[in-house]
Amino acid sequence: MAEVGQPKVKELPLEELYTSEKHGCDQTGDGTASKPFKTVMTAMLAYEKEPFPQIYVDGKTDEKKFKLIPHAQFINQVKLHREEQQKSQASKVKEQEDAERKEKDLEEAKQVTIIEDKSLPKALKIKVLEGEKHRDERVKVSGWVHRLHRQENTLLRVVLRDGTGYLQAILSDKLCQTYNALMLSPESTVTLYGTISKVSKGKTAPGGHELVCDYWELVGLAPPGGIENVLNQNTDVETKLDNRHLVIRGEKTSKILRIRSYLMQAFRDHFFERGYYEITPPCLVHTQCECECCSALFKVDFFGEQAYLTQSSQLYLETCLPSLGDVFCIAESYRAEQHQTRRHLAEYTHVEAECPFISFDDLLDRLEDLITDVVDKVLKSPAGQLVKDLNPNLVPPKRPFKRMDYSEAIKYLRENEIKKEDDTYYEFGEDIPEMAERRMADKINEPILLCRFPAEMKTFYMQKCRKDKRLTESVDVLMPNVGEIVGGSMRMTDSAELMEAYEVEGVDPSKYYWYTDQRKFGTCPHGGYGLGLERLLMWLCDQHHIRDVCLYPRFLERCSP
């Protein structure tokens, strides 16, 4: 009988078998005149056994759709069919033999046992990263089988992964003949015992060495084929997102997560070295206003009361200035706008800082210092090489950054023919949307401090420019390929001005009493900013999509795993 998935004739015996190079199909045909096969060979294979019935091929005219196959062609096809059948017979036999041999090998393997040789020195437990330090000593390393290569029954080459790095290991003789060795699959967990030695000249391995095993233990077996069965080159985006917990085991994603960890540390080191205190502001907040931005907040039922997930910790940071001086936080911010862009998330890591007694120029200087120093720290850290792997063309930003006023940006867009969708130019007072902003940032191709936005485009608490009250002392940092990564400003110092701003915005000041109090109980010039960690990571790791730099990204219709 034809096997599942192979073409079949409609019913046996069929008295006539139809084929058509013009209209037939080898996948969906069944040999009838209405559903002919495409090729004679497929028709014969589907029919399986000789003698074949009358076989028809394409006729010459439209009236005579089919004609009997010419005799010479028939003889030739029968010959080819016999050869084809012999081949398939032979491969079936081989498959059967292979399966039997495997079965037998597994049965035999059950008899092979390995035990640790107690006369050897006690193995020291190490992480992969410590391998070089412990070369030529007996060690044991635990981890996940990242890759696996079997050489017959004599050698098993494993690349072990433990989060600190990759280690090549060699299991030979009995070590690779046990039942567990034959069953071993990628992603299984193992503990390997042996001695790490430098690989001989001309050979390569991670770290330049390999673990020659003298014993090993299986900790947990993974399904055959490891995660290849779930994720491979053809996997679609949704499946990858559903299996993000497996995706993060991959080399690229684990590199990004490692860089992310070093980047967070670089931010903390930067701030601590400069005398900032870290605070941990609340995530659950009461809204202070009924303004437009509140529609961008996620609602939470807080013991029967309406609360929200914070979209910025800035206001809380400001309240800490009189207590702690310069302060920062690295916390999650939440945005409920239904963005579907490559740089917006519903939950992101927000690096925010506030500083008392600074000027707008000081703020810009601090931003330059922050970004150059943090990038420098990461590049000098163990993650530096990972960044170079992912982004070999990275140009670390240099001070001073290009400083550009919003009004100049409007001019720049006009001069460079960057227009709105309706083919008109952006005018002063209009928001520069993501696409235009990014085209400008890409064209300039270096970090930009985009300054002094019109007041009506920005939040109510921003300090107005002394020289032109239409403008604010505000700044966005733009990076090539990403666009805005920072939004910052000086904050209003005068309580009367703030009260006026509440009114213009339609905000109930009574709910803001604690924020207003900052201006009453000893006001001061101050400013700060918020930086999107993922946006900076996109730039640093040269990643097109913000989702790829998060552990478990949250965005429209995606809240799991």
Q: Which of the ranges 23-31, 85-93, 250-258, 345-353 carries the binding residues for ligand ATP, by CB under 6 A? A: 345-353
Distance of alpha carbon 529 from alpha carbon 543, whole angstroms: 24
One of 131, 143, 530, 553 touching ligand ATP (CB under 6 A):
530
Q: Of 260, 335, 366, 519, which one interacts with ligand ATP (CB under 6 A)?
A: 335
Binding of residue 401 to ligand ATP (CB under 6 A) = no
And the tokens for 192?
């390997």
SS3 at position 328: strand
Return the residue of 7, 226, 532, 553 that touches ligand ATP, per CB under 6 A: 532
Residues of this chain, 73-132, that bind ligand ATP according to CB under 6 A: none
The two most distant CA atoms of the chain are separated, in Å, by: 106
CA separation for the pair 52, 192 (Å, rounded): 60
Cβ(352)–Cβ(527) under 8 Å? no
Distance between CA atoms of 352 and 312, rounded to whole angstroms? 8
487 sits near Mg ion (criterion: CB under 5 A): yes
In the complex, the smallest distance separating the C-beta of residue 325 from ligand ATP, rounded to whole angstroms, is 22
345 binds ligand ATP, rule: CB under 6 A: yes
Place of tokens 């193992």: 190
43, 37 contact by CB (below 8 A): yes
What is each CA distance from 314 to 126, 282, 352, 361, 471, in whole angstroms?
44, 11, 7, 19, 21
Judged by CB under 5 A, does residue 488 bind Mg ion?
no
3-state SS record for 442-479? HHHCCCEEEECCEHHHCCCCECECCCCCCEECEEEEEE
Q: Which helix (H) or strand (E) holds 40?
A: helix 40-47
Residue with tokens 């960044």: 387
Question: Exactly one of 170, 247, 486, 507 binds ligand ATP (CB under 6 A); which one?
Answer: 486
Asked whether position 480 contacts ligand ATP by CB under 6 A, the answer is no
Name the token pair of 224.
């055959």
Nearer CB in complex with Mg ion: 194/487: 487
Q: Binding partner of residue 187 among ligand ATP, Mg ion, none, CB under 5 to 8 Å per kind?
A: none
Q: Are the CB atoms for 304 and 253 separated by under 8 Å?
A: no
User: How far is Cα 384 from Cα 380, in angstroms, rounded to an integer?
Assistant: 6
Selected binder of ligand ATP within 318, 368, 534, 548 (CB under 6 A):
534
Q: With contacts defined by CB under 6 A, name the span among 120-128, 269-277, 337-345, 443-451 that binds ligand ATP.
A: 337-345
- Output the smallest distance, CB 360 to ligand ATP, in A: 17
Report in angstroms the alpha-carbon separations of 72 from 49, 50, 79, 95: 20, 17, 11, 35
> Residue 74 class from Cβ within 10 Å (0-12 exposed, 13-18 middle, 19+ buried)?
middle
The stretch among 324-332, 348-356, 389-397, 484-492 that binds Mg ion (CB under 5 A) is 484-492
210 binds ligand ATP (CB under 6 A): no
Nearer to Mg ion, 170 or 533 (CB): 533
Q: Which does 55 bind (CB under 5 to 8 A by kind): Mg ion, ligand ATP, none?
A: none
Query: What is the C-alpha to C-alpha distance for residues 345 and 311, in angstroms, rounded to an integer?
Result: 12
Residue 518 CB, nearest distance to ligand ATP (Å)? 20
Does position 344 interact with ligand ATP (CB under 6 A)? The reply is yes
Instruction: Between 210 and 476, name the residue whose CB sits nearer to Mg ion.
Output: 476
Answer yes or no: are the C-beta atoms of 519 and 495 closer than 8 Å: yes
Residue 530 interaction partner, one of ligand ATP, Mg ion, none, beta carbon < 5-8 Å per kind: ligand ATP
486 binds, among Mg ion, ligand ATP, none (CB under 5 to 8 A by kind): ligand ATP
Among 161, 350, 377, 519, binds ligand ATP (CB under 6 A): 350
Residue 146 or 535 with smaller CB distance to ligand ATP: 535
When asked if residue 8 is in the footprint of ligand ATP (CB under 6 A), the reply is no
Note whether 441 binds ligand ATP by CB under 6 A: no
Question: Residue 307: which of ligand ATP, Mg ion, none does it interact with, CB under 5 to 8 A by kind?
Answer: none
- Smallest gap from residue 345 Cβ to ligand ATP (A): 4
Burial of 89 (0-12, 13-18, 19+ CB in 10 A): exposed
Q: Does 491 bind ligand ATP (CB under 6 A)?
A: no
Contacts of 400 (CB under 8 A, 6+ apart): 368
Residue 30 beta carbon to ligand ATP: minimum distance, rounded to whole angstroms:
55
Which spans of this chain sit near ligand ATP (rule: CB under 6 A)?
335, 339, 344-345, 348, 350, 484-487, 530-532, 534-535
| List of residues contacting Mg ion (CB under 5 A) | 487
